[in-house]
């Protein structure tokens, strides 16, 4: 599990390789990831938008921006949490994702919350350390 805390907002990510949706012979590797956001601050916040920076094993970068997550812009009171799952296909057997959420607090202040970098590795592929 991967974790980051920004402005007392905790974000954890747990990736899962989806073998049944992957087709390595066709250069298609698919992962699911579960994100949990916990508001550890004393203010109410709303997740307004997301940004993802995805790098595959060949160094190809894809950036994704959009409103909310999975069609929602959740509001979290202090100590509330929100969890969602999504997926990411790559053309390589490994990659890295990281990003940020744009939040707005109950006073109207807009701020960024980090999504920790996390590794996407197909279990059947031998890992190498550089």
Q: What is the pLDDT of residues 4-39, one digit of tens each?
A: 999 999 999 999 999 999 999 999 999 999 999 999
Q: Shortest CA distance to 34 belongs to which of 66, 70, 71, 78?
A: 70
Task: Give the CATH number of the domain where residue 23 resides.
Answer: 2.60.40.1470
Q: Is residue 128 part of a domain?
A: no
Which domain covers residue 28, as residue numbers? 2-121
Q: Is residue 92 part of a domain?
A: yes
pLDDT at 130 over 50: no
The string of DSSP codes covering 79-113 is: T-EEEEEEEEEESSSEEEEEEEEEEEETTS-EEEE
Indicate the pLDDT class of residue 126, thresholds 50, 70 and 90.
low
How many folded domains does the chain comprise? 1
Q: Is residue 107 part of a domain?
A: yes
Q: Is residue 14 part of a domain?
A: yes
Mean pLDDT of 36-63: 97
Q: Is residue 35 part of a domain?
A: yes
Q: How many CB atoms lie within 10 A of CB 130?
A: 2
The residue with tokens 């747990």 is 14
Q: Is residue 129 part of a domain?
A: no
The mean pLDDT value of the chain amounts to 95
Dihedral of alpha carbons 22, 115, 62, 92, sign: negative
Is this prediction's pTM over 0.85?
Answer: yes
């Amino acid at each position: 599990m991967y974790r980051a805390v920004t402005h007392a907002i905790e974000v954890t990510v747990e990736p899962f390789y989806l073998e049944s949706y992957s087709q390595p012979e066709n250069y298609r590797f698919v992962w699911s990831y579960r994100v949990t956001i916990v508001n550890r601050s004393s203010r109410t916040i709303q997740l307004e938008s997301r940004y993802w920076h995805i790098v595959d094993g060949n160094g190809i970068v894809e950036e994704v921006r959009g409103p909310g997550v999975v069609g929602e812009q959740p509001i979290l009171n202090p100590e509330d949490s929100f969890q969602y799952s999504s997926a990411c296909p790559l053309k390589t057997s490994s990659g890295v994702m990281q990003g940020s959420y744009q939040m707005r607090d109950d006073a109207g202040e807009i701020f960024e919350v980090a999504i920790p970098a996390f590794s996407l590795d197909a279990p059947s592929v031998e890992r190498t350390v550089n």
